[in-house]
A and B are shown apart, each in its own frame.
Chain A
Amino acid sequence: MASGICLFAEHYNNILDPSVAELSSAAHEIKEITGEKIQVILLAAESQPLIEQLKRLGIDEVYVYNTEKDSLFQDDANSQVIAEMLKSITPSGVLIPATVIGRSLFSRVAAKLECGLTADCTELKVGKREDGSYVIRQNKPSYGENVFVTIVTKEGRYPQMMTIRPGVYKPIAIEDNSDVKVIHMDDISFPPSRIGVTAVKPAAVRADSILSAETVVVGGRGVEDEESLKLLKAFAKEIGAAIGGTRPLADVGLIAFEHQIGQTGFTIRPRICISIGVSGAIQHTEGIKDTKLCIAINTDETSPVFNIADYGYVGDAREFIEGYLSL
């Protein structure tokens, strides 16, 4: 019978991704109820340093597959190996970081095993079926963050596989259990991959276009005067962000129309949005969607912008920026 909560050990440059310690926390919550073992799947060219790091995450077993070379992004081949490993480990659940790596690799694994893959879970709960078997209730946001849905893997389908949004679970407190069982699975052959990595270089910060920028600073009425706008630009430069503005700024010609955000301007999907002096009328909030981190600075604590931001600071825009630039 399927048993065990299996984590995927994402790593880069011999360092485990911080999300793996978060997965272990989620797995411990499940283990407390079901009593299952916590297992880890590790695929690496050099596994030893990673195994040492895994020993500090309170896990029971590590299943290791040594690749001849680094196989990062070779998901046509990696997925084949992982599918074979899972067939032999037969866990009841597989937890994966919801990262570019996790999504890409495990989509293929799920298709190979036809076992389903729930994306970007923010909460896991354990339920019990009528026959006494446990089920992981997988909660995830949908339609931006407006609705949450609970998804389950259908009865009798294993493993229950899901990606977990990084940053939701706290990383597990360090637990020294050096008696982790290490199982090598090197009898699986590594299939040929048609993907190759030809070069790696530091990613260029693209702040030229507001549409593709990962970080955006948006100014509103609160930074309408030229002096404030100058500060806003310095702040954007400091954090490598593109500048956007709401309609009042475009109307008075302080920003170009190409930088106008909102119902009458562009809809942007940056990863990080810092909104300064924006009141947050719907015309503007409609323009920022799916932002992972939204921080708002405004003098009015009742401003609607604080209903859509993750973090808020009530204060003067200029004082805040001056404070930031002095750090």
Chain B
Amino acid sequence: MKIAALIKHVPVSNDVSVDPDTHALIRANSEGMINPADLNAIEAALILKEQTGGQVTVFTMGPPDAEKSLRNAIAMGCDDSCLITDRCFAGGDTIATAKVLAAGIKHYGEFDLILGGALSSDGATGQVGAMVSEYLQIPHISEIHQVDYEEEAVDKLKAIKKYQGNQFCLQTSLPALLTVCFGANIPRLATLRTKRAAKSKPLAVYTNEDLKFPPHETGLAGSPTEVIDSFEPESKKKAKFISGTPEEAAREIKALIQKEEGRD
């Protein structure tokens, strides 16, 4: 089975503040890493690869610096990687990002299964995966907790999704796209040896010379939405205090927990 894993190179720390004059974001740390849920997507891809004797190609769209995350994915066991990078892709919203990612995947070749993390740790929209599947005209199941492959079945993929306190077993045929929740599995670790080997692996780099989008269709220009302001929350998260006896507090806290558990 040919599998594509979509990853995002995210900041190591969410410690970000806003310049009060320019409203530009100031990052305490510019280091990047693989988005945590994407590690679960990679792990799911590697398990399926071992089961079916396939190949995993890892994709990311981002600055040239994102190569580091691709190399780390290779060190975990992915076979090839593709960096989609161009200044004209920068600043895109989820639509502009998904469009370019889908074009990059198509340009690379055909895949039976595409896996990605359910949510990113920075933007946390959870939208890009499903949008990519729409651009590729394949079905998707998002935010899954488990995936299984059955060679003999017509609908070869089975996935588990949680909703309203229930566990739904869903199935679909290939090709398809799935997004995997953080914590769905325990991602394997790269070793020193695999990390060293990953450094010399070839890496495909696609720019807009390869994907050939008209300039107004990508990045900031190709985004239907735009960020017009950024600001810090009025009070950085500060607890609302609960008063009363321990029993009264316990009752109130129990209600808060139950309310949150009821959400999806």
Contact = CB atoms under 8 A, between A and B. Distances in A.
Interface of A: 12-13, 72-73, 75-76, 79, 99-101, 103-104, 107-108, 110-112, 114-120, 137, 141-154, 157, 166-167, 193-204, 209, 211-213, 215, 239, 267, 269, 271-272, 274, 289-290, 292-293, 295-297, 301, 306-316, 319-320, 322-324, 326-327
Contacts of B176: 194
Contacts of A295: 253, 256-257
Given A153-B224, A198-B158, A198-B171, 13 more contacts: A13-B164, A79-B134, A103-B142, A111-B131, A145-B237, A167-B263, A194-B155, A194-B176, A202-B166, A203-B165, A239-B257, A272-B260, A323-B249
B255 to A, nearest CB: 10
Interface of B: 11, 14-18, 25, 36, 93-95, 98-99, 121-131, 133-135, 138-143, 155, 158, 161-173, 176, 182-184, 186, 223-233, 236-242, 245-251, 253-254, 256-257, 259-261, 263-264
Contacts, number: 278
22 contacts: A13-B164, A100-B143, A100-B163, A103-B143, A110-B95, A117-B95, A118-B225, A120-B124, A142-B123, A144-B14, A147-B230, A154-B223, A154-B224, A193-B139, A195-B170, A197-B170, A198-B170, A312-B241, A323-B246, A324-B253, A327-B250, A327-B251
Contacts of A118: 225
Contacts of B155: 194, 196
A48 B224 CA distance: 36
B238 A111 contact: no
Contact of A143 (B14, B94, B126, B183): B14
A117 B127 contact: yes
A310 B237 contact: yes
A19 to B, nearest CB: 8
A151 B242 contact: no
A152 B228 contact: yes
Contacts of B161: 73, 100
Contact of B126 (A103, A146, A157, A324): A103
A147 B18 CA distance: 7
Contacts of A167: 259, 263
A54 to B, nearest CB: 19
Contacts of A315: 246, 249
B142 A119 contact: no
Contacts of A115: 224
A103 to B, nearest CB: 5
A211 B257 CA distance: 19
A312 B14 contact: no
B42 to A, nearest CB: 15
A81 to B, nearest CB: 14
Nearest to A165: B263
Contact of A204 (B15, B167, B240): B167
Contact of B224 (A100, A116, A142, A327): A116
A202 B167 contact: yes
Contacts of B167: 200-204
B13 to A, nearest CB: 8
B232 A146 contact: yes
A94 to B, nearest CB: 13
Given A143-B14, A315-B246, A76 B140 contact: yes
Contact of A199 (B130, B169, B186, B254): B169
B25 A147 contact: yes
A75 B95 CA distance: 17
B237 A307 contact: yes
A239 B258 CA distance: 9
B21 to A, nearest CB: 15
Nearest to A270: B183
A156 B17 CA distance: 32
Given A119-B123, A195-B172, A104 B227 contact: no
Nearest to A118: B225
A289 B182 CA distance: 12
A142 B239 contact: no
Contact of A312 (B15, B169, B226, B242): B242
Contact of B261 (A200, A267, A272, A306): A272
